[in-house]
Structure 1
Amino acid sequence: MARSDRLLRLLQTLRTLPSPVTAERLAEETGVSIRTIYRDIEGLRAAGATIDGETGFGYRLVEDMALPPQTFTRTEIEALVLGLGEVRHAGDRELARAAETAFAKITATLPERLQLQAVHAVNRIYKPSPPAEPAVDMPFLRRVCWEEQVLRIVYIDGERQQTEREIWPLSIVYLERALILLARCCERNAFRRFRIDRISEATATGESFRPHRVPLLREFVAQMIAEEEARTAAQ
């Protein structure tokens, strides 16, 4: 591994792990020797990172030279902690891990006083049981949305009827009790909402519907808002 890549990996590990973190733990996480950790810590310090600690005690990243300093109000910090905590609970494994690393990167750019406010935030998310993992691979589903790939799905509706459909996946929506895939159904040529827990199979066809996702999603959202306003007016 190139030294620059190794230093970046060590820096990210220092951002992520609870401090102080020992050289032994850093070596285990990064896959190098303890001696290399000692050298690389000095290398990061020479490059501008402020790292407290020493051999036998552990290290703490005080100021991260790789990320620009940021300033948030106390309420903004509380909002970040609360929002990322919700993602850690409601998201799949990849998304939950991304929330953890995002929190580490954000707090690494804060002055020490604001870092303490983030770590000891007043607002917290607590939910005793995480949501069940859907059968469909969520990282794959996000990727086909980003890349605007046509998707073939096997879907089981509320009456247990199984159908196969080709769709244009537009967005994933997190509701209180379900994950919803907003999509354009190719067969019906209409917008549809698919419960992700009812998708038993999903494969990319290799076809693309780029660059239609963003304008179609805007149209779909406008349609949903109009339907909701009509229902409210009818009550």
Structure 2
Amino acid sequence: MSRTDRLFRLLQALRNLPAPVTAARLAEETGVSERTIYRDIETLRGVGAIIDGTAGFGYVLTEDAALPPLSFSNEEIEALVLGLREVAQIGDPELAEAATTALTKLKARLPEGQGHRLKHAVLSAKRFAEIPAPTVDVPALRRACWDEREVEFAYCDAKGAQTRRRIKPLGITFMDRSNCLLAYCLLRHDFRAFRLDRMMDLQVTDQSFRPHRVPLLRDAKLHFATH
């Protein structure tokens, strides 16, 4: 197998296998050694592919410079419109504006026929229950997730009890009519979901937990699926 063919097969495996995918699983899928996988991951990163993760924790392909511009099926266009309109409904103000802007940019880059279908998509999203406004800087919280930096904040739970938390932020999700931060709590030594409208006095620290976000996310999904 040529090196080019090997790299192409590795990219295909990263696209198709459930993320994060370990080097051992990639080696099994592509028929090479784990040592070769490590080298090829660095090669792909060197030519522009953004691959999160590291040896022992698993890899996630987040941006693939090798993929050409894509056209979309009618159903894919409807799904994109529905998803972005939903974000505009439930996201914090900056994210909601970004969803609207993304729709405009997407329409401008599509072929004329598909751009027309996107503009006149038949699916939409509307929520009548008001979502509580966040009481922290959500863009700063998102950056802390991406940068894998621990954060501190004051938190008031549903019973009114107040605590000071230091956590490893993993992601933000919509749960039960509110936006929540999924995190590993260093006070409780377990995974927790914190409502953004009950958080105050957010402070992003210099303490990094890289490269543990990917494996922590995997464990968090198992935790919340069973609790």
- TM-score, normalised via structure 1 length: 0.63
- Superposition RMSD in Å: 1.8
> What are the residue-to-residue correspondences of 1:122-137 with 2, within 5 Å?
122-127=122-127, 131-137=131-137
Q: Does 1:224 align with 2:224?
A: yes
Partners of 1:112 and 1:78 in 2: CA distance: 16
Could you tell me which residue of structure 1 aligns to residue 73 of structure 2? 73
Question: CA offsets per residue over residues 84-112 of structure 1, 9 Å max, x none?
Answer: 10111111121112112221222122211
Could you tell me which residue of structure 2 aligns to residue 160 of structure 1? 160
Partners of 1:130 and 1:169 in 2: CA distance: 25
| SS of structure 2 residue aligned to 1:150 | strand
Could you tell me which residue of structure 2 aligns to residue 204 of structure 1? 204
Could you tell me which residue of structure 2 aligns to residue 189 of structure 1? 189
> What are the residue-to-residue correspondences of 1:86-101 with 2, within 5 Å?
86-101=86-101
Partners of 1:205 and 1:139 in 2: CA distance: 15
| SS of structure 2 residue aligned to 1:207 | strand
Structure 2: which 5+ runs fail to align? Answer: 1-67
1:131 deviates by 3.1
Partners of 1:155 and 1:201 in 2: CA distance: 9
Which amino acid in 1 is paired with 2:195?
R
> What are the residue-to-residue correspondences of 1:136-151 with 2, within 5 Å?
136-151=136-151
1:141 deviates by 0.8
* Count of residues paired in the alignment: 160
Could you tell me which residue of structure 1 aligns to residue 171 of structure 2? 171
Highest RCO, 1 vs 2 (Cα 8 Å, sep ≥ 6): 2
1:129 deviates by 7.1
Partners of 2:69 and 2:144 in 1: CA distance: 34
| SS of structure 1 residue aligned to 2:125 | coil
**Runs of 4+ with deviation above 4 angstroms:** none
1:70 deviates by 3.5
Larger radius of gyration: 1
| SS of structure 1 residue aligned to 2:104 | helix
Q: Percent identity?
A: 46
1:132 deviates by 3.9
Structure 1: which 5+ runs fail to align? Answer: 1-67, 228-235
Question: CA offsets per residue over residues 148-178 of structure 1, 9 Å max, x none?
Answer: 1111110011111111111111111112411
> What are the residue-to-residue correspondences of 1:19-38 with 2, within 5 Å?
none
- TM-score, normalised via structure 2 length: 0.65
Partners of 1:127 and 1:196 in 2: CA distance: 18
